[in-house]
Structure formats: structure tokens, C-alpha cells
Amino acid sequence: MTTTRREQILDTAATLFAERGFHGVSMHDIGGACGISGPALYKHFAGKDDILTQSLTSISERLLDEGRSRSDAAATADAALDALVDWHIEFALAHRALIVIQEREWANLGAAGRQAVRTLQLAYIDLWVGTVRHLRGDLDAAEARAAVQATFGLINSTPHSARISETAMASRLATMARAALLA
């Protein structure tokens, strides 16, 4: 898969934001890390705030789109749950910086950015809730949502807790997530 300049900028900025914090990174820093001048970034983004917003919005869109795709391709609800768990773990292991900036830089998003990201996140949560409720008919929506969000907390702790190989971590997280969702 070919990475576009825009994607390169978003990935680089996410790494820098995770390492130094949003306020510790300048447009010049991002441009330099991408091999372009800071002012050249304005061809792609309105500013640093826009980069942060686009980072979190685009990854939220990707989580939702890929989650839907994998869930829709599954033959059973049980397979859909496995597909969702595997996808979220795959994402968490591959995009640790985005998880860090999501938790740490939320307050730096403008109101419109927070609303856009929150809307996408709620749709992603609802996808999981529907699957969990199909498998656990005894759970109401609030209980299923609590289980899903707690499971996200487990998986999203990866940037802070992964001290074993990615393969071993993925296996451990999958076992724990499935158990938590179906307990």
C-alpha cells in the first residue's frame, strides 16, 4: 500500500504528538520530520490544530469502516466478535501513538473536531454493542456498552503495557477481551 504525503504527515505528527505532546511540537518540527518545510504543510492542512483533528478523525473513520467490513464478512455473530476483537488489537498494536494522543490530547481538539470524532466513536461502539448483545441476549444496551468500553480500555492500554512480543500480546489481549465481553 502506497502512503500519500498527507498520510505521512499525519503519521509523523501523531508520533511527535505522542512523544512530546501537542504543545511541544511545531509545524516546523512536523515538516522537518517529513523532509519538507513547515510552511509546505499548509498545502495539506490549515494548521497544527487541523493536523490533530484530521489524525483523530481519519483513524476513527478507519476503525469504523474496517470494523463494519470485517463484521459484515463474518458468517456468524461469534465470528463477527472475533473479527472485531482481532481488528481492534491489530489497530492498537500498530497505532500506539494515535491511542496516546487520543487519550492525552482530547482537550486540544476544537469543539467541531471533538463532535466529529465522538460521533464516529459512538458508531464504532454501537457496532460492537450489537454484536455482543446478539451473543449475550441477557445484557441490555447499557450493560453491553459498559463491557465494550471496558474492553476498549483493556486493548487500548497496549501503548503502556505491552512488554511481550506483539504476537504474544495479541493472543493475550484476544483471550482477555473475548472473556470480558462474554462473561
Q: Closest Cα partner for 7 from 111, 95, 89? A: 95
d(CA 175, CA 183): 12
| Residue 170: alpha-carbon gap to chain centroid | 16
The range of the structural domain enclosing residue 178 comes to 48-182
Number of structural domains (the chain) is 1
User: pLDDT by residue (tens digit) across 6-32?
Assistant: 999 999 999 999 999 999 999 999 999
User: pLDDT by residue (tens digit) across 132-169?
Assistant: 999 999 999 999 999 999 999 999 998 777 688 999 99
Confidence of residue 66 (pLDDT cuts 50, 70, 90): very high
Provide the CATH number for the domain around residue 172: 1.10.357.10
- Residue 170 near residue 164 (C-beta atoms within 8 A): no
Whether 107 maps to a domain, the answer reads yes
d(CA 61, CA 63): 6
In this predicted structure, the answer to whether residue 37 has a pLDDT above a threshold of 70 is yes
Whether 115 maps to a domain, the answer reads yes
